[in-house]
Structure 1
Amino acid sequence: MATPSPRDQEAQPLTTTGTQSIDRAAELLSRVVLADEPPGFGDLVNETGLAKSTASRLLLALERHRLVHRDDSGGYAAGPLFALYASRREPLDELVQLAQPTLEKISAATGETVNLAVVRGNAVVQIAQVDSTFLLATTNWVDVDVPPHCSALGKVFFAAGVLPLPVEPMQRRTPHTITSIAALQRQLERINAQGYAEALGELEIGLDAVAAPVLGRDSTVVAAVGVSGPSGRINNQLPQLGSLLTSHTEALSGVLGYRKRKDVAV
C-alpha cells in the first residue's frame, strides 16, 4: 500500500482528540493574552479545569512555537511571535480591526453613519466608517479634515485632555459653532460628566453628531466613536444615542485592555 503524501495527510480531517487539543491550547493562549497580569501555571489550571499534565504539555507546545513565554516569576505572558507580528503591522490597522464589530453593531442599532477617530498631532483623523442605511445620510468622513471644535469626536478628545484646546479666534462654520474657549470649556465639563459629546449643527446646519471615548489599557483615551446624521433624526434621541454609544465604547475599551478601577472603601 502506498504511503499517503504530506498533502494528502493535511487534507484528512482532524480527529476529535486533535480538535479538542487545539481548543484547549487556544483557551490557554487566550487567557494568557487577555490577563491583566501574567497568570501562573496553577492559575491557568484552575481557570481552565484542565489536568496539570495536559496543561503542562500544551503550554510547552505554545512556548516552543513562541506563542507564550514564562517570566522571571513563573507567570505566562504573550510570546515574542506577537511582538514580531505587531512590528510588521500598522497600529491603526489593528485598532480598526478590533473596532469594526463595534461600529457595525452601532450601525445596526441606529442606521446612521458611524465613525472611528484618533488624534494625530493636533488634528482629529477619522480612520474607519460604516455608512448609513438611509438615503439621506452624511458623507464619507474618512481622512476629511474637520475643525475639532465643530465635531463631537473632536470634543471627546478635548474633554480628555489628549488634544490641546484651540486658539482663539476659532473658526465659525455656522451660527451654532462654539467660538470662545470659555464656552467650549463649559461644554467639555458637561461632556466629562455625562460621558459623551454632542455637536448640533456646529459644522453644518442640519447635521448633528454624538460621540463617546474609547480607553486603552493605561486609561487614556485612544480613540472615539461617533454617530452622525440629519438633525431631524439625531436631535430628538440624543440621550438614547449617548447611552448606546457609551455602552459600546466601554465594551470596546475592555477589548483594548482597559479595566475600571474598583472604588476602595476608606
Structure 2
Amino acid sequence: MTVPAGSQAVDRAAALLAIIVESGEPRTFTSLVDELGLAKSTTSRLLHALERNRLVRRDRAGLFRPGPLFAVYAAQHDTSQDLLDVAQATLDEIGERTGETVNLAVPRGEEVVQVAQVDASYLLGVTNWLDVSVPPHCSALGKIFYAYQAMSLPDELSVPPSGRSMSRRELEADLAETVRRGWALTWEEFEEGLVAVAAPVRTRDGSVVAAVSVSCPTTRITKADAARLGEQLTSETLAISRQLGYRSGKAKP
C-alpha cells in the first residue's frame, strides 16, 4: 500500500520528535539527520514545523530540545499517571499469573513513592502498600533505585520494624548482586514473614525511572521460587520499558 504524502510527513515528524524527546541530552541538527537518514532540507522543514507548534525548541547553542508544550503538559498532569497507563496491563498480568500483590513505584528524592497496586488474590493478609512508608534499603523497590543510581544512598540506614539492621557494606554488596542478576530481593528485612522481589523499568537511554515488585508471605514462597520470580519479573518489566522506548543493550550501570 502506498502511504499518502501527508501521512508520510506526519510519520517522519513524529519519528524526529520521538528522538528529541527520548534522548538523554540535546541533539544537534547533524545527529538528527544521520539518525533518521533524511535529507537535510527535509529534516530542516520538519524541525521548523515542530518549532512553530512548540513541540521542539532550539537552545542558545543551537541544539534541539523538547518544546515548551511538554512543560505545559507536565505542569497540568501527574506524569506518574502516564506511566501507570503504560504499565497497567502488565501489572494486571503479573498479578493474575502470581496471585500475589504487585506494586509499581517511582523514586522521588529520597523516597520510594508507590503509584499503583494490584491486590493478591488471597482474601486475607493483603496490605495496601500505597499507604505504608518503607525504608528504601529494606524494600526490593528501593534496592532497585539504589542499585541503578535512581536514588542516592543515605549516610545512615534506619532500623526497620523487623529489627534486622544492615550495614552499608552489606547493602552495597546486595546492590551489586542486584545489578548482576537484574532484580532485587528482600527476605524478611522489613517485616518478619514478608518477601518481595522487584525489577527495573527503564526509559530510552537506559535510565531506571520506576520499578515493579511482587510481595508475598514466606509461607507461599521458597528462595528458589523467588529466583524464578525475579527472572520472570525482569522479562515482564522489560515489556514496559520497551513501550517507553528502551532497547536492550543501552542500560546505564
TM > 0.5 between the two? Answer: yes
1:217-247 residue CA offsets vs partner (Å, 9 max, x unmatched): 3322211110001112233511221111111
Higher relative contact order (CA closer than 8 Å, sequence separation 6+): 2
On the 8 A contact 2:17/2:56 being kept in 1, the answer is no
Separation in 1, partners of 2:197, 2:116: 16
Q: Which of 232, 235, 243 is matched with 1:247 structurally?
A: 235
TM-score after normalising by structure 1? 0.68
On the 8 A contact 2:160/2:191 being kept in 1, the answer is no
Correspondence for 1:167: 156
Q: Which of 253, 256, 266 is matched with 2:244 structurally?
A: 256
State the number of aligned residues: 234
Correspondence for 2:140: 152
Structure 1 spans left out of the alignment, 5+ residues: 1-19, 46-58, 72-76
Separation in 1, partners of 2:96, 2:8: 34
Q: Which of 86, 89, 92 is matched with 1:101 structurally?
A: 89
Correspondence for 1:17: none
Correspondence for 1:198: 185
Q: Which of 207, 212, 219 is matched with 1:220 structurally?
A: 207
Moved more, 99-108 or 184-193: 99-108
1:237 aligns with 2:218: no
TM-score after normalising by structure 2? 0.71
1:119 aligns with 2:107: yes
CA shift for structure 1 position 25 = 8.6
Name the amino acid aligned to 1:163: S
CA shift for structure 1 position 206 = 1.3
1:187 aligns with 2:174: yes
Separation in 2, partners of 1:262, 1:231: 35
Q: Secondary structure at the match of 1:142?
A: helix
Name the amino acid aligned to 2:135: P
Separation in 1, partners of 2:113, 2:238: 21
CA shift for structure 1 position 183 = 1.3
Provide the aligned C-alpha RMSD in A: 4.0
Question: Could you say which structure has the larger radius of gyration?
Answer: 1
Name the amino acid aligned to 1:222: V
